[in-house]
Amino acid sequence: MIDKQYIELMNKEIDGLLSVPESEELKNYLNQNKEAEKYFAELKVSVELLSRLPDEEPGRNLKQFILNSIDKNKYSFNKPAKIKIFSPFQKFLKPRFTFALAAGILIGIVLYPLLFTVQNNKMKNNLSGTMGVNENITELNNVTFNNSLASCKIILYKTNKEYWFKTNLIVKDNYTLKINFNPLDFVLDNVSASGNGELKINKKENAVTISGEDNSIFRLYFNRINLIPANFRISLIVKGQEQLSRLINIE
């Protein structure tokens, strides 16, 4: 039989909270009670064994999934108001500012042809600069599907950095669209959706599932992690039955 009072002392010892007199008291008790000594040894080893469990790390995409799932504008209405330039000395500054602006425009009109000509002559044989380039958007692949339950068109686009699906779905019943991908190849960046009825979007590391009840249009954006060939699988389930399952390969 082990006294309850000493069980508490044993636990305090495990937590490193025992005072010197308490420690002496426990030591004396354990010396006299073999059952208690065995119990305490087993208890200590059991707790020590917990430290043998390896430290588990969350997946590297967890943060991104969380950020993709929150409404980033939720608190934006609380942003501090911008400081108005004229507020303290408005009456004093405003007429002067208006006058300075008008004068500047006038001077500009007068001087512009002169400066432009001079500059043009100087730079005639010495042109350099940067041109804006429209990012190249390519339609990669498209999947169309029609039957009495669903009409679906999914187009896969790519730019230099991203892939996205534009999906038009006309379904008059409960549906689930699932896109599976390898998280080593792609990271789901964002989903924008609009449609009739409520859409449920469930994002996982390797899949995104969208469920709804009616016509829907949505876009799913993925970032590509590497440039090796990869693929997506698109599945559409309507009324609990798989209507479409297609593997899309990306070189």
Partner 1 sequence: MNDEDFKYVERCLTGDVEAFEEIIDKYRKPVFRLAIRMVKDFDDAEDIAQNVFIKVYERLGTFNPKYKFFSWLYRIAVNETINFCRKKNLIENLADNFESSGNNPEEAFSESELSEKIQAALIRIDFSYRLPLVLRHFLSYSYKEISEILEVPEKTVKSRLFTGRQMLKDELIISGVKTND
78 binds partner 1 (CB under 8 A): yes
DSSP 173: S
Residue type, 56: E
Rounded CA gap, 151 and 156, in Å? 17
Choices 50-58, 145-153, 211-219, 229-237 (CB under 8 A): range interacting with partner 1: 50-58
DSSP helix/strand/coil, 242: strand
Nearer to partner 1, 41 or 137 (CB): 41
52 binds partner 1 (CB under 8 A): yes
Give min distance, CB of 11 to partner 1, in A. Answer: 5
Choices 27-35, 77-85, 143-151, 182-190 (CB under 8 A): range interacting with partner 1: 77-85
Residue type, 97: F
Contact of 164 with 222, CB cutoff 8 Å? yes
82 binds partner 1 (CB under 8 A): no
- Please state, as a whole number, how many other Cβ atoms lie within 10 Å of the Cβ of residue 152: 23
| Candidate list 14, 93, 193, 244; residue touching partner 1; CB under 8 A | 14
Q: Write the burial class of residue 89 (CB in 10 Å: 0-12 exposed, 13-18 middle, 19+ buried).
A: exposed
Residue type, 19: S
Give min distance, CB of 200 to partner 1, in A. Answer: 14
Rounded CA gap, 137 and 141, in Å? 12
Q: Restricting to residues 106-145, which ones interact with partner 1 according to CB under 8 A?
A: none
34 binds partner 1 (CB under 8 A): no
Give me the residues that bind partner 1 (CB under 8 A), please.
7-8, 11, 14-15, 38, 41-43, 45-47, 49-59, 62-63, 65-67, 69-70, 72-80, 204-205
